[in-house]
Structure 1
Amino acid sequence: MTDYTLHYWQQKAEKLSLEGRAFIGGCYVDSASEKVFSCNSPIDNRQLTEISRCDLADVDQAVAVARKSFESGVWSKAAPVKRKATLLKFADLIAQHQEELALLETLDMGKPISDSMAVDLPGTLRCLRWSAEAIDKIYDEVAPTPENELGMVTHEPCGVVAAIVPWNFPLQMASWKIGPALAAGNSVILKPSEKSPLTAIRIAGLAKEAGIPDGVFNVLPGFGHEVGKALALHHDVDTLAFTGSTAIAKQLMIYAGESNLKRVWSEAGGKSPNIVFADAPDLLAAAQAAAGAFCFNQGEVCTAGTRLLVEESIKDEFIEHLIAAVKQWVPGNPLDPKTNVGAIVDETQHQRILGYIAKGSDQGGKLQTGGSAASPVANGFYIEPTVFSDVANDMVIAQDEIFGSVLSVISFKDETEAIQIANDTPYGLAAGIWTSNFAKAHKMAKAVRAGSVWVNQWDGGDMTAPFGGFKQSGNGRDKSLHAFSKYTEIKATWMKLD
């Protein structure tokens, strides 16, 4: 059994061979302009490699290749059992390269290597395998008809699917899109974030090795919004799946309306309430979970529980438990398996989080712990997990999605006020409820406007449960059988039999 140590991962990192080119039509290629941008590690801000800076010309080429592969039927018309076998082989190859891919995630966006190995890679494999296994078990329908007619309801692949994915869980979020999209028979163009493109580029080669036909799976790295905008405006892209900010989700829908009215499915921002009642079954366990809910992945999580709603009668006691739990989350070298708080993805995000911490103090929040930059590795980007108490829900730190480990503690008097505060946000992605009273839990779960509600835990569910949000947290759902509805068209066929 491998002895994972800081030295092990540092040695492995030194031997890595990094690919930075786009993947179009089954080949790694330079961008048409031959432009590149620098890919730096937030661990120490050193350059890892250069990445192809794709633009409209590359989008046109990739879409044409994807359309040709789709219309050829080489994948779209292949038997579901054949697509399943190929995707399972794809997952097996990712499993064989899991150390390499986990290391790329950590080097690229700064998450702890222990999380890359224990969370991101297993989640990716579970999604791909689950989606592959599901596709030959989804049945079409026969409508109730008169004796001399036959009515059929069938699901067909959309065509060319563009998937734009974020930088916080680069590979896992990609799998949530490409798993069902490929399983359903579509041709896919994956656009990773410029902040974390390495794993998306790497798995393209593994997809080809697994037997996914040329042109069916393409990867277009880009800088800024160049590639994403071009995909959203392209008249030959049928479906666009996006995970990222609410502002960008709105813009992509505008682009779709300005072009071919392509379907746009988005999982956008969040400002999730974690509600702790005085009758929670275990206040210590609730405090530990509350700490993890905003500290995990440096707080760079769309479902982060960054609004902690605590019943007034236990507020002081609970904050004591919370602070003790938060102090166990300490920034360190992401390549050290003992580290549980890694680096912030880049300097821009680092400064953004520190700016919100300053606003929290300026607006009257009481700083309980953290609040400063840290430096476990020279030149890297690190911030201490930060807790503010005495926060009003209209403060900027309670309303804006900071995407960093900054927690706002807000007190409430009763269920009615808890619901009012929980729903007083433009977002509706997730919520947590801690109570021993399951009648109360049911009532609260129904009242809170969120796509996922977790009772006496944080971040529950698996591939069998849909994931997505209410309100400005987006539309559509990832994971579960519901995800396939994003990547298929429903056709009604009605036949006269006499």
Structure 2
Amino acid sequence: MQRFNNLIGGVSTPPVSGQWMPSLDPYKNENWCEIPDSGPADVDKAVAAARQAFESPAWAGLSATARGALLRRMGDLITENAQRLAELEVRDNGKLLNEMLLQLRTIPQWFYYYAGLADKVEGAVLPIDKADQFVYTSWEPLGVVAAITAWNSPLLLLTWKIAPGLAAGNTFVVKPSEFTSTSTLAFAELFEQAGFPPGVVNVVCGTGQRTGAPLVAHPDVAKVAFTGSDGAGKAINQAAAGMLKKVTLELGGKSPNIVFADADLDAALAGVASGIFAAAGQTCIAGSRLLLQRSVHDQFLEKLRNMMQGVRIGDPFDPETQIGPIANRPQYDKVLTCINEAREEGAEVFWGGKALEHPSGGLFVEPTIFTAVDNASVLAQREVFGPVLAVIPFEDEAEAVQIANGSRYGLAAGVWTQDMPRAFRMSKALQAGTVWINTYRAVNFMAPFGGYKDSGLGRENGQEMIKAYLQPKTVWINNSTQPPGNPFVMRLN
């Protein structure tokens, strides 16, 4: 069985404890490799390497333009290695090779974008009303950043953190999910090839408890950038707050996908299917609540039934496959538990509703659609993170907004309508960090991404997000040749 090591200070490093953990291929439901089961000692080594790199002239002495050149080279290397990296992700999490290849061929755009921004962050000279003072501001990196990523799109989610963070001049310790670590380890090796000094990017593998918690609590970590569940995010935020660390948290969602009667129903159908069944529903932006206007409720569900009859479920490496397996055993069990609980609550199974026996023995769950769903029910309020859709009817625009906003989450929302004034009203009324009109599940390096309410803190992507990895400094220079005033009084004017 193939065995992977941590990457610390540019060196492939086995865990201090000598302990390893298996990584599962969810399509075959069998272990295919081993990753380090790291602990606090490994975290200490990685943070020390990142701290040393942050302070070394090899990194700290680089100009912002030089950092941008390294990021551009990294983008080129990702393109050259896209096939290998995509295949590792598919082996670890069962997502479609079609999607993983698309992600890996697009990820370089983030590196090119932030490479261009690296030397565009400018301070300012302040027009202070004191003739004898010269005052200016500059932006400086934070230091060591802990990046903790989820298992559904490991490299895309890491890129959202590491591209702006490196452009800003920080160094990183990355803790990937224990379910999907191999692609991150292979990805991290490319940084040295691109010319980054050793220790600028380090990777320690392991569980949240043994590896993630000591990383968050480490005194030399200045910021934590996390993608994952809201429960884990709240625990990280609480731990970081006790040490006044900065955080960026991209957490869960229970996003509404709202279809009005005047919508192009065929386009909406594709958007609804994409929103909940792409990636087997294992996305934070999954449109897991389908809000249907009553006048088209039955018609739309019939269209959805017809579509589901032709869906291809199976091998994620097969280009004809449309839905792959659930990524890991705990998530598989959780999805099936949620389906059973929804039945007990009184929701009605319109389609699917059980585990799918597949010849591969993989972790498959039937795409499942529930009707007769109350928006106050557990099914409508809890993030399932699987191919489970809750259908809720509504009468008019006001009720649609009320239902959509009736959730502790606020990551994303979709609206399907050909009434543009309504589209603008809905985009303003919906409590969500991203609102898609007549499309769904679209992201871009230029577009800020993040959530309202329990869906997180801060944003990722976009021009301003580089400042989430910087801190301002104000410098005062006294030009006066006159004796100072009263030394016991603050100078306010």
The within-5 A match list for 1:391-406 is 391-406=373-388
Instruction: From 452, 458, 461, give the equivalent of 1:470.
Output: 452
Structure 1 residues 85, 19: closer, same or farther in 2, change over 3 A? farther
Amino acid at match of 1:310: L
Match for residue 421 of structure 2? 439
Amino acid at match of 1:137: K
The within-5 A match list for 1:92-103 is 92-103=76-87
CA contact (8 A) 1:265 1:475 kept: yes
Deviation (angstroms), 1:235: 1.0
Aligned partners of 1:305, 1:192: CA distance in 2, in Å? 25
CA contact (8 A) 1:43 1:377 kept: no
Instruction: From 479, 482, 487, give the equivalent of 1:497.
Output: 479
Aligned partners of 2:132, 2:421: CA distance in 1, in Å? 52
3-state SS, counterpart of residue 456 of structure 2: coil
3-state SS, counterpart of residue 44 of structure 1: coil
Match for residue 314 of structure 1? 296
Instruction: Specify every segment of 5 or more residues in structure 1 that has no aligned partner in the other structure, as ranges.
Output: 1-16
1:121 aligns with 2:121: no
3-state SS, counterpart of residue 213 of structure 1: coil
The within-5 A match list for 1:194-273 is 194-258=178-242, 260-273=243-256
Q: Over residues 439-470 of structure 1, what are the superposed CA-to-partner deviations in whole Å (9 max), with x where a residue is unaligned?
A: 11111111111000111111234111100000
Match for residue 134 of structure 1? 117
Aligned partners of 2:238, 2:28: CA distance in 1, in Å? 38
CA contact (8 A) 1:468 1:476 kept: yes
Structure 1 residues 324, 490: closer, same or farther in 2, change over 3 A? farther
Deviation (angstroms), 1:163: 0.2
CA contact (8 A) 1:19 1:202 kept: no
CA contact (8 A) 1:124 1:175 kept: yes
What is the TM-score with the length of structure 1 in the denominator? 0.93
The within-5 A match list for 1:319-338 is 319-338=301-320
Match for residue 146 of structure 2? 162
Q: Report the RMSD for the aligned CA atoms in angstroms.
A: 1.5
3-state SS, counterpart of residue 492 of structure 1: strand
Aligned partners of 1:383, 1:79: CA distance in 2, in Å? 51
3-state SS, counterpart of residue 75 of structure 1: helix
Match for residue 8 of structure 1? none
Aligned partners of 1:454, 1:404: CA distance in 2, in Å? 21
Q: Over residues 189-237 of structure 1, what are the superposed CA-to-partner deviations in whole Å (9 max), with x where a residue is unaligned?
A: 0110000001111112111111110111100101242111001111110
Deviation (angstroms), 1:19: 5.4
Instruction: From 31, 50, 57, give the equivalent of 2:15.
Output: 31
3-state SS, counterpart of residue 58 of structure 2: coil
Amino acid at match of 2:247: V
Q: Over residues 454-490 of structure 1, what are the superposed CA-to-partner deviations in whole Å (9 max), with x where a residue is unaligned?
A: 1111123411110000001001111112321221111
Match for residue 177 of structure 2? 193
Residue identity over aligned pairs, in percent, reads 40
Amino acid at match of 1:162: A
Instruction: From 400, 404, 407, give the equivalent of 2:389.
Output: 407
Aligned length: 479
1:150 aligns with 2:134: yes
Aligned partners of 1:256, 1:352: CA distance in 2, in Å? 28
Match for residue 364 of structure 2? 382
Amino acid at match of 2:276: F
CA contact (8 A) 1:44 1:377 kept: no
Structure 1 residues 323, 150: closer, same or farther in 2, change over 3 A? farther
**Further displaced range: 480-489 or 237-246:** 480-489
CA contact (8 A) 2:2 2:34 kept: no
3-state SS, counterpart of residue 292 of structure 2: strand
3-state SS, counterpart of residue 446 of structure 1: helix
CA contact (8 A) 1:330 1:384 kept: no
**Further displaced range: 423-432 or 148-157:** 148-157
CA contact (8 A) 1:37 1:223 kept: no
Instruction: Specify every segment of 5 or more residues in structure 2 that has no aligned partner in the other structure, as ranges.
Output: 481-493
Aligned partners of 2:310, 2:477: CA distance in 1, in Å? 66
3-state SS, counterpart of residue 477 of structure 1: coil
Deviation (angstroms), 1:184: 0.8
Match for residue 404 of structure 2? 422
Amino acid at match of 2:251: A
Deviation (angstroms), 1:86: 1.1
Deviation (angstroms), 1:34: 1.1
Structure 1 residues 30, 236: closer, same or farther in 2, change over 3 A? same
Amino acid at match of 1:352: K
CA contact (8 A) 1:67 1:187 kept: yes
